[in-house]
Amino acid sequence: MKNSKNLIVGCGITGITLARKIAEEKQESVLIIDKRNNIGGNCYDYYEDGICVHKYGTHIFHTDNKYVWDFLSKFTKWHPYMHKVKAIIEGKEVPVPFNLNSINLLFPKCLAEKLEEKLIAKFGFGKKVPILELRESKDKDLTFLADYVYKRVFLDYTLKQWGLKPEELDPLVTGRVPVYISKDDRYFQNKYQGIPLKGYTSMMENMLKHPLIKVSLNKDFKDFTNVDKYDKIYYTGAIDEYFNYKYGQLPYRSINLDFQKFNTEYYQSNSVINYPENYTFTRIGEYKYFLNDKSRKTIVSFEYPEAFVLGKNERYYPIIKDENQELYKKYLKEIKKDNKITFLGRLGDYKYYDMDKAIERVLNMEL
């Protein structure tokens, strides 16, 4: 066994995956520290009234990467779950991303048939078309559809979620909300989809069960005094915070989650319902749907997006804009001055990662 010491800052899915990789592949000791009082970062969940609740909002695992799926499957069995999202548009519950079924629910039959025919003819069945691309169509019927979806589904939701118009965001963000020329109501079309059978926390506890891995919670890196004794530091926290905001703060969006419990079997008809046009919250998540939990009560969360404010709330989503990327590049240059430290994860890379991509990033790393 080697004596090299590794310190991982942040006990989220990135840090936990990395700890397991180091322990298994290099047979080296690992200490993970986290300023929170729980493991798992934003993937942390817990049970209340027999319901597995996601503390930081709804999380659904999905991937096409068999390597990632097989890696996690060593630590959990899966509850097969195909995620569907509905949105309240003109008072009706319709599938999102907006698809052919959405069209048929909202428009008169003659118009719906015409739109369906033109979409398939122009783009092909099964294609996903970014809404901003669809708006560039010269066909008046497709332009009508694009403007309708842009206004009813996309614009107000984006303003609430990001505090920006769609055109102000990077195409990587806006491309995540397409018009799907299909009757597939699933939110994701990945080969592997599911929820860990006993929850994410249980899965991550199993990942941490290794004699070379030690976890220390309620420990902030800035108060950590033994940094020099570690040969390698992996930092999954905010890169601008590490450098004491030398070039300024990197902007993020946060979410205020209002959890409510109701003495009824179900509160709504679906696990997640979006509200693009109404109210100041963006969506309501109902947690018992994910694992088909049985309880006479139900727990839901209302999501109110807000700006990240240091010391007030949590960082959720990096705001991907050119000016923010330029600021991030300044911090990247600082990294090159210290070969001892590696930054990674959503906050370290200043990049939005789905869970599978965060894990894939770690599994593909050279240690």
Domain ranges for the chain: 5-81+192-249+319-363, 85-180
| Average pLDDT of span 37-54 | 98
CA–CA dist 17, 77 (Å, integer): 17
Confidence of residue 166 (pLDDT cuts 50, 70, 90): confident
pLDDT value of position 245:
97
Between 178 and 252, the more confident residue is 252
pLDDT value of position 174:
64
| Average pLDDT of span 132-153 | 92
Report in angstroms the alpha-carbon separations of 35 from 59, 209, 272, 316, 318.
22, 20, 30, 16, 20
Question: Which segments of the chain does DSSP mark as H helices, in order?
Answer: 13-25, 66-73, 100-106, 109-123, 131-134, 140-149, 156-162, 171-174, 200-207, 239-242, 288-291, 322-335, 345-348, 355-363
Q: Which fold has domain 5-81+192-249+319-363?
A: Rossmann fold (3.40.50)
| Average pLDDT of span 47-68 | 98
| Average pLDDT of span 199-214 | 98
Residue 175: pLDDT over 80: no
| Average pLDDT of span 45-50 | 98
| Average pLDDT of span 68-82 | 98
pLDDT value of position 1:
46
Structure-block tokens of residue 124: 């092909």
288-322 pLDDT per residue, tens: 999 999 999 999 999 999 999 999 999 999 998 89
Residue 172: pLDDT over 90: no
Mean pLDDT of the chain: 95
Which of 134-143, 182-191, 208-217 has the lowest average pLDDT?
134-143
The whole-model pTM stands at: 0.95
Residue 3: pLDDT over 60: no
